[in-house]
Structure 1
Amino acid sequence: MSVSGALDNVRVLDFTRILAGPFATMQLADFGAQVTKVERPGTGDDTRGWGPPYDAHGQATYFQAVNRNKDSIVLDLTDERDRARARALAVDVDIVVENFRPGLMAEFGLDYDQLRPANPGLVYCSITGFGRGAGAALPGYDLLIQALGGLMSITGSADGEPQKVGVALVDVLAGLFATTGILTALHHRQITGAGQRVDIDLLSCLLAALVNQASAYTAAGVVPTRMGNQHPSIAPYELLSCADGDLVLAVGNDRQFATLCDELGAPHLPVDPQFATNTARVQHRDKLRAELENRLATKSAADWAAALARVRVPAGTVNDIAGAFELAAQLGLDPIVELTRSDSSKVSLCRNPINLSATPASYRSAPPPLGLP
């Protein structure tokens, strides 16, 4: 028996490209929404050409990551007839998502204010870099937002240069915030019948995602700095050296710290006033690190990880991406799904992490060829 998706019969017109917008619309598509991706003639979404790497069939893996379960249609929005076709589609869907520079969709006659009279229930999501106000003209690229939004200032070693995160994290966060906003507006429409505009900007998404680092500034006036792998408020919570490599320790409370010390053969440390509380450990983190690494040096990181796991102390080795997927598979999380393209070739992608008991995610189609379902 087939299982209906939570968003079956929800129709989405997707004008987005690159990452934040396509990631959001893929979340909707995974749960049954009918997503039509509008692409420009010739090249389509920029990420179709963003490689290497390419898969075994010559497809850019970047595009594949965020465009499954969608149909593709080619429209030239500078062409009057194609704009008319786009408008006809837009007034007949539930959701429009776009991430053009602010004002461009208005020039095309496809902004929220021009579509709303013909489609009053429309949920219209715009994703920008810096909002539709004073920052409207600024280009919104993930790396730029990581720099301007403070993330790079707290990423990297204390004596090194600012670092970006190893994935376009701000785009992913914006896609998730966009999905939340769209679903919230969709619920409101179900109650009232009225649509609304959902505005998402990358800078605000990053500031919100800084969470405790943001509140350190907003609530206490503290400007966080780079600390490498250490945590500003918890210790030990970092990467520590063992006999053959590094071990991650994420000790979140005094009980875990006492258990760690017992396993290391150092039961005196938890009663030492310098280490008895988390606040004390943070204040004496360098001395604590020396104490721990002196004992960790007697075994390999893998041996310590296994031993500490048995006593429920959060610890582990640093995996590469392959190792991370292997771990998820070993834990029964089924991290990879395989989809079949229209030419019968296969593509393997990361599954959606949201698990719904009644209406789970479905994987109906691989990312589409340009202009084809």
Structure 2
Amino acid sequence: MGDTGNGFLWATAVIQALYHRERTGQGQKVSTAIINATLLATSYAYSLADGTPVDRPRIDARQRGLSALHGLYRLAGDDWLSIAVLDEAAWPDLCEALAAPELLADPRFADATARVARDTELRAALEPLFARRDADDVVAAFEKRDLPCELSVDTFGAALFTDPALRALGDVVTATVPGVGTLEQAGVLVSLADNPGRVPGPPCLAGEHTRAILAELGYDAAAAAALVEARSVLAL
């Protein structure tokens, strides 16, 4: 979500800068960050118009991850490590990093298709291998082989929105929403050097501005009320 979403944010920033150049003849520096794309991508829960949930990867019942090769493992010392070993070429590196040549030779996990089919067995085989390694040891082994991993920090979610650097950059902001209270949310996710954006207020509630928009479109109060009564539009 971070890498792909970052491309979307870059495209948005570049288009905005090009539009500014067309209007003024002036170019400017633009920037964003992968963490901004992750903030954006994880801030939405969405469904289709009929209420059907969107098909997307889901974590397992124990909330350990998406699969045996994309999830959390307990280490010695009660630390937790999140891994994302998704490429076929990375499988031998994982076995080597865990000092488990027997896993590489196991016919149950001979290729990606077999590993997906036997995901539960693979996780059961990996768990004791991680449990015998401490954080410094296993992270060093992963980094040496360019295997994606990150130690899990259970305070990250809270600390993210209080991080002074992110707040100074405007990446996260706090707003007060009627009926909800204090809401911390992703802020300005792309930066234009000459035209820095800002978050002017909290996100709007569904139907909050319907009457004002209808008025701008030429509907008088009675016509707007008729649309609301007919449930053609939602208005607060």
When normalised by structure 2's length, the TM-score is: 0.46
Looking at secondary structure, tell me which structure has more helix per residue.
2
When normalised by structure 1's length, the TM-score is: 0.32
